[in-house]
Chain A
Amino acid sequence: MFDLDRKKYPKIDDGKANFELYSHKYLKLWHGPQHPGVTGNMALELTVSGDEIIDLKTHVGYLHRGFEKLMERRRFIQCFPIVCRICVPEPDTNEYLFSAAIEELAGIEIPEKAIWIRTLNLEMTRLASYLMWVGGQAGALGLGAVGQWAIAHRDYVLDLFEEMTGARVYHMYMVPGGVRGDFPQGFVHRLEAVLQKCEKLIKDAKIVMLNNSVLQDRLVGLGIITPEMIDKFGIVGPNARGSGAKRDVRKDNPYLKYNELDFEIVTETDGDGFARLKVRFREMSQSISLIRQIVSKMPKTGKFHVKTPNPLHWKIPVGETYLKAESTRGEYGFYVATDGSGFPRKVTVRGPSYTHAVSLLEYLGVGVNIADIAGLMGSLHTYPPEIER
């Protein structure tokens, strides 16, 4: 339906392009795993003709640790430290989804305050993850300075996390039953200070990036996702919203406290890398506004944790569920099945990058200039560890 004009490309058998590499018309190039332009640790096997990519294969598995297998032999409480490792820059979504799935299966209701803290945590991590992404996207397109700013500002958010949860990167804060601690004193003021810094940064970065003619030239028209492709490839999150799809789990299937917060789904209609950049910039600002709303609406006192059965021999009856949340890359889902024993029967993680970085990137990458492939990867916002788990 929307296959490219493949006349100038080689024949495809069984999904594989047939190249005569010794014809000297084609060259095989490895982009990664050891390449600064690749986010995380993955590889693209490019076949190029001149500097145009005519075939692209994604190689993943460099970070494969077999989480789903490891969780089968860990008790329910022992899984929560491990799930956050599935996505390094945005661990809290995993923590939330796993805890919430366990709570649903075990029939536990968590206190009001814990729900609010979780919501706040998710928005903060969204901000941190977007800041890291801005750095990556700008760096991939030669704007090193924005990367410096963004990562340094992300560090301020990490400082907040450190104060709140006790760790910088892997927070391990949300446990089945609530969260592991209350706010420290004066946290809200420090949060506000960081938000103001970030607002300033977003303003600056917008000027530098959105009004930048070089960047515009490179991103406009790069990796166009048409509306028909969205369902065909299962595209979610900002990548879908950049093509005009009004889809956001926070609105569609509200979880935690998102139905009490005031925000609109951000969409752009161009469907190219530049539109996605704009979507993400607007979502960063939105995230800041959400954090402020959460802080003002949050109850000041109350319990933050409800007691769960003894974790050493906690058994959960047979059941299965699927829970999802909106991460920075889109719909993030946990499918958890239990079999009445003290261990999960199966946990499957649905990372949005799974489709974005493999089938979609393999499709979009064809026809792109070699120099732009890092920018394309950036604009799809892929994190390899959630592909291979």
Chain B
Amino acid sequence: MSLKNFVAPFYVWKRAFEKPLTNTKPLETRPGAAAYRGFHVNDIEKCIGCGSCEEICQNMSIDLVPVDGIETKDGDSGLRPRIDYGRCCWCALCIDICPTGSLNMTNEYTWLEEGDGDVDDKFIFTPGVDKKNWNNLELGYKRPVDYEILEYSKIKMTIMETAERSDSFIEMVKGYSKEEAEREADRCVACGICVATCPANMDIPEYIKAIREDDLNEAVRLLYKTNPFSNSCGRICTHRCEDACVLEHRGESISIRWLKRYIMDNVSSEEIKSSLADEFTKNGKKIAIIGAGPGGLSAAYYLAKLGYSVTVFEAKEKAGGMLRYGIPEYRLPYDELDKDINYILSLGVKIEYNIRIGKDKDFDDLYKHFDSIFFSIGLSKPYSMRVEGETLPGVISGLKFLDDVTMGIDPKIGKSVAVVGGGNVAMDAARTSKRFGADVTVVYRRRLEDMPADLEEIVEAQEENVEFVVKAIPTKIVENKGKLYFSWNNAKMVEQKDGGRPKPVAIEGDITTRTFDTIISAIGQAGDFSFLPKEIEEKLKFKWGKVITDKSRQTADSKIFAGGDVVNATADAISAIEDGHKAAIGIDRALRKI
């Protein structure tokens, strides 16, 4: 043992003269680092209760609970996460996945409880709702920029090039390939917020799951459970589900509509038949349905499945209603619509074409011979523009125009066309005119953002070089040498005092006049109830031109049910389909008296 080895340990004493490492007493409160994963906070206004945090938590430490003052509404489940700190491991996966970005962490880390009584109600709290001293802390773990574990951008849909599509009636949207669909389906967090927003309550997360698992037969079964028009809906649905999608909050929603289309595109009619395997026994009761549109045929499908003999009366020569006559072929090819209709017909549903009730056949006749009647006649009476000269020969209604195009009748439009209105019918009319080679101008009373048409329709119309004239109130149409002189009064938007949506008010004297060959009026339409006999029309109740029904779509006459655009306020295909489904259940209940 050398002396050095003996002395060396005393080197420790050197430290006695150094500044101590110790934190001062009383212990200085050392806050956690700026990105410390401490206790949770939740912005409950931003949170929508989608439950992704609950889903990803490996400790089952998060519950979704109702919270006072938070209402369940479209796109918000009304639930909020409650965290059990007897389970949490502060891994912050819940924060990483939070699609709204409402859940975050603070750098607070001390929470003590005294251990008397039961521990069951301790260390459990709803962030953002319960008062905690860390609720207002700024620092703490937030999902770092550039770090996302979910995919927030859509898989791009292949759409025909503008130049190619603006004179073609071939379907412009190409649909997803298998790989694209699976990738898009993979983005879904399966929260189910969209289900309640869908009028038909389709099992959206489940069929997306079926796509992921490549089980399209199961997907078809899920689709037909609530919607026999999936093929058409997969193309033209107003997809309110996508607006409710959680991913919409920080990125782009899932293309639920295109995924539905992907399913239907990739199963043949035979596969649909075999995977649905609809079996039923006839129960001998007869139902009459007026109008072979989505509402009528959907009711027919579900009634047929319940064993009823269904006869559908259709005024036109083909079935499909507005899906066929209102929607141009480049959006919904007739073959695809026929695929839906043919499956319904294959269940034994009879359609009598070219029978207009009230004209070719009496309503009373049906009332006497059938056990129940469902009508879903749609809105067929165009609103008038109430301007001078609207009866001139070159002025036609949008519905008539689209009808003619569908039936192959030359709509006789000129080189320059004005379309009045901002709804989907107006867009369809404008873009269809474009495909006939016309220069199209859309004239609308309000601003672009006020247009009721789907955003993508407007965007696509713009891409196709449709001109938009907004804040223009039509005043008169004058004919001179085959030309129509269309005048409108430019307007300004005036905020309403009661908070209603801004109203266009004409600017005195600011009038523009342009010449057109054809003017298409598409400012809306109303139901035509002239087919109803007087006494029944008096019995049924109406409000704002719509029939009032109860939840099962039963009207004031217990034998008559109604649905579709003449009943619901949204007036789109998916609502009509849901009306048909509900009415079928309602009719079944009424007839079986349960």
Given the interface contacts A212-B5, A213-B6, does A166 sit within 8 Å of B36 by beta carbon? yes
Which of B36, B56, B149 meets A162, CB within 8 Å?
B36
* B532 at interface by CB-CB < 8 Å: no
* A339 at interface by CB-CB < 8 Å: no
Cα–Cα distance between A307 and B183 once the two chains are bound (Å):
13
Q: Is the CB of A152 within 8 A of B147?
A: no
Q: Is the CB of B186 within 8 A of A309?
A: yes
Cα–Cα distance between A172 and B36 once the two chains are bound (Å):
12
**Per-residue 0/1 for B469-503: is the Cβ within 8 Å of any A Cβ (1 yes, 0 no)?**
00000000000000000000000000000000000
15 A-B pairs, CB-CB below 8 angstroms? A78-B56, A81-B91, A146-B12, A149-B15, A152-B21, A159-B33, A162-B32, A175-B149, A184-B34, A303-B146, A304-B146, A307-B151, A309-B186, A311-B149, A312-B52
Q: B92 to chain A: which residues have CB within 8 Å?
A: 166, 172
- Nearest opposing residue in chain A for B91, CB measure: A81
Interface size on A, residues (CB 8 A): 46
* A208 at interface by CB-CB < 8 Å: yes
Beyond the given A152-B21, A177-B149, please list 7 additional residue pairs across the A-B interface where CB-CB is below 8 A: A74-B58, A165-B35, A180-B147, A212-B5, A217-B1, A310-B188, A312-B190
Cα–Cα distance between A170 and B188 once the two chains are bound (Å):
30
Q: B37 to chain A: which residues have CB within 8 Å?
A: 166-167, 172
Which of A82, A182, A207 meets B58, CB within 8 Å?
A82
Cα–Cα distance between A221 and B190 once the two chains are bound (Å):
63
Q: Is the CB of B58 within 8 A of A75?
A: yes
Q: Is the CB of A212 within 8 A of B9?
A: yes
* B115 at interface by CB-CB < 8 Å: no
CB distance from A145 to the nearest CB of B (A): 5
Number of A-B residue pairs, CB cutoff 8 Å, is 112
**Per-residue 0/1 for A75-105: is the Cβ within 8 Å of any B Cβ (1 yes, 0 no)?**
1011111100000000000000000000000
Given the interface contacts A78-B93, A167-B37, does A212 sit within 8 Å of B189 by beta carbon? no
**Per-residue 0/1 for B3-39: is the Cβ within 8 Å of any A Cβ (1 yes, 0 no)?**
0111011011011000001000000000011111100
* B157 at interface by CB-CB < 8 Å: no
* A308 at interface by CB-CB < 8 Å: yes
Q: Which of A160-187 contact B (CB under 8 A)?
A: 162-163, 165-167, 170, 172, 175, 177, 180-182, 184
Q: B33 to chain A: which residues have CB within 8 Å?
A: 159, 162-163, 166
- Nearest opposing residue in chain B for A167, CB measure: B37
* A193 at interface by CB-CB < 8 Å: no
Q: A170 to chain B: which residues have CB within 8 Å?
A: 89-90
* B557 at interface by CB-CB < 8 Å: no
Interface size on B, residues (CB 8 A): 44
Q: B96 to chain A: which residues have CB within 8 Å?
A: 180
* A211 at interface by CB-CB < 8 Å: yes
Q: A162 to chain B: which residues have CB within 8 Å?
A: 32-33, 36
Q: Is the CB of B141 within 8 A of A308?
A: no
CB distance from B56 to the nearest CB of A (A): 6
* B434 at interface by CB-CB < 8 Å: no
CB distance from A298 to the nearest CB of B (A): 17
Cα–Cα distance between A167 and B97 once the two chains are bound (Å):
19
Cα–Cα distance between A304 and B147 once the two chains are bound (Å):
8
Q: Is the CB of B93 within 8 A of A77?
A: yes
Cα–Cα distance between A182 and B35 once the two chains are bound (Å):
11
Cα–Cα distance between A31 and B52 once the two chains are bound (Å):
47
Cα–Cα distance between A143 and B32 once the two chains are bound (Å):
32
Cα–Cα distance between A145 and B89 once the two chains are bound (Å):
34
* B144 at interface by CB-CB < 8 Å: yes
* B70 at interface by CB-CB < 8 Å: no
Which of A149, A211, A309 meets B8, CB within 8 Å?
A211
* B150 at interface by CB-CB < 8 Å: yes
Q: Which of B53-104 contact A (CB under 8 A)?
A: 55-56, 58, 89-93, 96-97
CB distance from A55 to the nearest CB of B (A): 33
Given the interface contacts A208-B9, A304-B146, does A310 sit within 8 Å of B151 by beta carbon? yes
Which of A143, A149, A312 meets B55, CB within 8 Å?
A312
- Nearest opposing residue in chain A for B149, CB measure: A311
Which of B1, B35, B148 meets A181, CB within 8 Å?
B35
Cα–Cα distance between A348 and B204 once the two chains are bound (Å):
38
Q: Which of B126-172 contact A (CB under 8 A)?
A: 141, 144, 146-151
- Nearest opposing residue in chain A for B2, CB measure: A213
* B187 at interface by CB-CB < 8 Å: yes
Given the interface contacts A163-B33, A166-B36, A211-B8, does A313 sit within 8 Å of B186 by beta carbon? yes
Q: Which of A126-155 contact B (CB under 8 A)?
A: 143, 145-146, 149, 152
Given the interface contacts A166-B141, A211-B8, does A184 sit within 8 Å of B146 by beta carbon? no
Q: B12 to chain A: which residues have CB within 8 Å?
A: 145-146, 208
* A305 at interface by CB-CB < 8 Å: yes
Given the interface contacts A145-B15, A162-B33, does A211 sit within 8 Å of B91 by beta carbon? no
Q: Is the CB of B58 within 8 A of A163?
A: no
Q: Is the CB of A167 within 8 A of B6?
A: no
Which of B5, B35, B209 meets A213, CB within 8 Å?
B5
Cα–Cα distance between A96 and B9 once the two chains are bound (Å):
39
CB distance from B53 to the nearest CB of A (A): 11
* A29 at interface by CB-CB < 8 Å: no
Q: A180 to chain B: which residues have CB within 8 Å?
A: 96, 144, 147
Q: Which of A287-338 contact B (CB under 8 A)?
A: 303-305, 307-313
- Nearest opposing residue in chain B for A153, CB measure: B21
Q: B148 to chain A: which residues have CB within 8 Å?
A: 307
- Nearest opposing residue in chain B for A217, CB measure: B1
Q: Which of A252-268 contact B (CB under 8 A)?
A: none
* A214 at interface by CB-CB < 8 Å: yes
* B212 at interface by CB-CB < 8 Å: yes
Cα–Cα distance between A362 and B147 once the two chains are bound (Å):
48
Q: Is the CB of A167 within 8 A of B93?
A: no
Cα–Cα distance between A311 and B52 once the two chains are bound (Å):
11
* A216 at interface by CB-CB < 8 Å: yes
